């Protein structure tokens, strides 16, 4: 993935995430984790440096979209990306089931990290029940959205001819 494709993917993810509505109350009003899907794709396919750059940029842009202090989402994205990168060689990198499992786990983790950080600062006053609902909703949306994001990025790379030769 070239830097230009990475920038395009992150900026497109920001726009899509900003335009998509949140889920209903039964999913805790969770957002579709499109930017986290981009980070997971980079973590599963590319090197750690590129993943960390992507996680920092995507997290800062996600925080800028909302009222979250800058850097909180980046911290969660880096944790999720490092965990995915850790298992890069042990999983099927381009399988939908892998993306769904990592998307669910990472979305739940990032939502939990954000809840803990915001609760610690006193910035949010959600009940633990609502937080569990939001974590579960984020995990479900992560399982559904991440395979689609990964498929779109892989397809984009194939069409542009910038996919590593061993994966074509």
Look-up of token digits 């959205």: 145
Give the CA angle between residues 16, 56, 30 to the nearest 5°: 45
Look-up of token digits 């960390």: 52
> Confidence band (pLDDT; 50, 70, 90) for 88?
confident
- pLDDT at 154 (0 to 100): 92
Q: Is the pLDDT of residue 158 over 70?
A: yes
pLDDT digits (tens, 9 = 90+) for 108-130: 999 999 999 999 988 888 888 88
- pLDDT at 123 (0 to 100): 81
Long-range own/partner contacts, residues 90-96 (CB < 8 A, 24 or more apart): 91/44, 93/44, 93/45, 94/45, 94/150, 94/154, 94/167, 96/147, 96/150, 96/151
> Confidence band (pLDDT; 50, 70, 90) for 67?
confident
Determine the average pLDDT of the residues in 63-70.
Answer: 90
Q: Is the pTM of this model over 0.85?
A: yes
Integer Cα distance of 41 and 25 in angstroms: 29
């Amino acid at each position: 993935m070239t830097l230009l494709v990475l920038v395009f993917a992150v900026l497109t993810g920001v726009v899509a995430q900003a335009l998509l509505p949140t889920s209903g109350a039964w999913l805790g009003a969770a957002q579709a984790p499109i930017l986290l899907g981009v980070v997971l794709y980079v973590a599963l396919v590319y090197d750690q440096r590129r993943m960390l750059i992507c996680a920092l940029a995507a997290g800062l842009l996600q925080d800028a979209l909302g009222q979250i202090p800058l850097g909180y989402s980046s911290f969660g994205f880096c944790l999720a990306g490092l965990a995915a990168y850790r298992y890069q060689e042990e999983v099927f990198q381009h399988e939908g089931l892998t993306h769904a499992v990592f998307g669910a786990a990472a979305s739940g983790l990032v939502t939990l990290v954000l809840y803990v950080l915001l609760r610690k600062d006193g910035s949010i006053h959600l009940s633990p029940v609502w937080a569990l609902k939001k974590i579960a909703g984020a995990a479900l949306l992560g399982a559904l959205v991440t395979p689609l994001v990964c498929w779109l990025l892989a397809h984009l790379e194939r069409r542009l001819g910038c996919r590593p030769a061993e994966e074509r």
